[in-house]
Chains A and B, each alone.
Chain A
Amino acid sequence: MSQAIPAGTKWWNGGKSPYNVEYGKLMMWFFLMSDAFTFGAFLISYGTIRFSSNSWPNPNEVFRSFPIVGEMKIPLAFVSLMTFILIMSSVTMVLAVANGHAGKKYEVAKWLGWTIVGGFAFLGCQAWEWTHLHHEGAWWGRNPFLNIDGTQSSTNFTNFFFTITGFHGFHVFSGVIINIIMLIMTLKGSFEKRGHYLMIEKAGLYWHFVDLVWVFVFTCFYLL
C-alpha cells in the first residue's frame, strides 16, 4: 500500500505539509516539545538545588522497599518493577498503533486494553510507594532521610521527589483517561468510520512521551 515519496519533492512550496503529516500529529509533536520544557524545567531545578547543596540523600537507602516482602535488602527493586511496567505498556501501545495502521479494530482494542491495564498498574505502584514513604515520615516539607554523609538533609529531596513524580503521575493518569476514550471510540467503530486510526497514533505519542519522561525521572531520582 505504502507509496514511495517521489524524489525531489518540493516540500516547502505550499499546498502540502512540509512534514508529510496532518496537522493534528504535528500539533501533538509540538505540544510534547513544550511539555518537555515543563518537565525539563522541573528536573533542571532539581539539579540546580542539588548542585547548590553540600550533600544529598542516597537513593539506594531511601527506595528499597517492596510491598508484602517489606524491607527487602535489594535497593531499587520496586522502582525497577515500575519501570518495567511502563516500558511494557509502551510496547503494547505501539502494537495498538501498528494494528491501527493495518485497520484491525479488535487487535487495536486488545492492545489498548493492555496499555490501560499497564497504566493503572503503574499508578497503583506509585500510590503504594507514596503511601510507604508517607508512613516513613516523608512528605512535602518533611524529609526524614539523612544525607549520604550522615548530616541533616534539607527537605528539598522529598519536595522535588513528590512534586516531580506527582506531576509525572498526573500525566500518566491523563494518558490513561485518553486511552480509555480511545478504547471506547475504537469499540464504537468511530475510527473505522473515519477510515483511519490517526487518533490512536496521537494518543500513542503522548503515552510514549510519558514513558520518555519516566526514563529521565528514573535516572535523576533513583540512580544519580
Chain B
Amino acid sequence: MSDAHSIASSEHHEPSFSTKAIWKTFWILLIITVAELVLAILYYETDFLPKHFLNGIFVIGTLAKAFFIIAEFMHLRHEIKNLILSLAIPALLFIWFIIAFLWDGNSYKNLRNDYDRHHLEQSKTKAPEAKKPGAAD
C-alpha cells in the first residue's frame, strides 16, 4: 500500500515548490502590506487623499495579497484547472453576499436617520472630551 502511495505522490504532483518562488511571494506580500501601512499613516497625519479612494486601494491590495497566498502558498496555481474552477466559482457567491448585505446596511442607516429623529440627534452630539481615553496623551 505504501508503494502505491509513494508512486502516487511523486507522479501526480506537478513541478514541486521552488524556494525562489516562495521568497518572491513573501516579498510581494510584505511590500503590499508596508505600502498599505504607509498610506494609512500618511492619511492619518495629512488627509492627503479622499478616504473612499484610499479604501479602494486597500481593498485592491487585500485582494492581491489573497491572490498570492492562494496561488503560491496554497499552491493552487499549480493544480489542474478543474480544481481551480471548482473553488473559484463558489467563491463568486461572495459578490452578491457582500453587495446585498452592505446595501441593506446602508439603507437601514438612512431609514433610521429619516424616521428616528432622536437617533439622528444623538449621532450628531459630540461626546464630552473627558470620556475619551484615547486622548490621554
**Is there a direct interface between A and B, measured as CB atoms under 8 Å apart in the complex?**
yes
A→B interface (CB under 8 Å): 1-3, 5, 11, 18-22, 26, 29, 33, 36, 40, 44-45, 47-55, 58, 60-62, 71, 74-76, 80, 83-84, 87-88, 90-91, 93-95, 97-98, 101-102, 136-137, 144-146, 149-152, 193-198, 204-205, 208-209, 211-212, 215-216, 218-219, 222-224
Cβ contact within 8 Å between B30 and A2: no
B residues 86-129 in Cβ contact with A at 8 Å: 86-87, 90-91, 94, 97-98, 101-102, 104-106, 108-109, 112-113, 120, 122-127
Determine whether the beta carbon of B80 is less than 8 Å from that of A205: no
Complex Cα gap A40–B86 (Å): 18
Instruction: Write the chain B residue with the least CB distance to A201.
Output: B75
Contact, CB under 8 Å: A19 / B70: no
Task: Determine the distance from Cα of A1 to Cα of B11 in the docked complex, in whole angstroms.
Answer: 7
Taken together as a complex, chains A and B put the C-alpha atoms of A199 and B123 apart, in Å, by 53
Q: Please, could you name 22 A-B residue pairs with CB atoms under 8 Å apart, sorted by A?
A: A20-B12, A21-B12, A33-B90, A44-B101, A50-B105, A52-B112, A76-B37, A76-B41, A94-B22, A97-B75, A98-B16, A137-B133, A146-B131, A150-B127, A151-B123, A196-B6, A208-B69, A212-B66, A212-B70, A212-B74, A216-B66, A219-B58
CA distance A101 to B11 in the complex (A): 11
Give the CA-CA distance A87 to B66 in the complex, in Å: 12
Cβ-defined partner of B87 (8 Å) among A33, A55, A97: A33
Whether A2 contacts B133 by the Cβ 8 Å rule is no
Q: Is the CB of A33 within 8 A of B91?
A: yes
Interface of B is mostly: helix
CB-CB < 8 A to A76: which residues of B?
37, 40-41
Q: Judge if B15 is at the interface, Cβ distance under 8 Å.
A: yes
Once bound together, how far apart are the Cα atoms of A58 and B25, in whole Å? 31
Is there an interface contact between A146 and B41, defined as CB atoms closer than 8 Å?
no
Residue of A nearest to B112 (CB): A52
- B43: shortest Cβ distance to chain A, in Å? 8
Closest to B80 in A: A20
Report which of A52, A55, A75 forms a contact with B41, defined as CB distance below 8 A.
Answer: A75
* Minimum distance in angstroms from B93 CB to a CB of chain A: 8
With known contacts A21-B83, A54-B113, A224-B55, A198–B105 Cβ distance under 8 A: no
The answer on a CB contact under 8 Å between B9 and A29 is no
| A21, A76, A90, A223: residue with the most chain B Cβ atoms closer than 10 Å | A223
Contact between A195 and B94 (Cβ–Cβ < 8 Å)? no
Decide yes or no: A224 and B58 within 8 Å by CB, A47-B105, A52-B106, A151-B127 being known contacts.
yes
A146-B79 CB under 8 A given contacts A44-B97, A195-B9, A208-B73: no
Residues of B contacting A198 in the complex (Cβ-Cβ under 8 angstroms): 9
Q: How far is the CB of B73 from chain A (nearest CB, A)?
A: 4
Q: Do the beta carbons of A62 and B37 come within 8 Å of each other? A: no
Chain A's closest residue to B26 (CB) is A91
**A80 B69 Cβ-Cβ under 8 A:** no
Query: Which of A53, A74, A101, A224 sits near B17, CB closer than 8 Å?
Result: A101
A95, B109: Cβ atoms under 8 Å? Answer: no
Cβ contact of A98, chosen from B3, B19, B40, B120, cutoff 8 A: B19
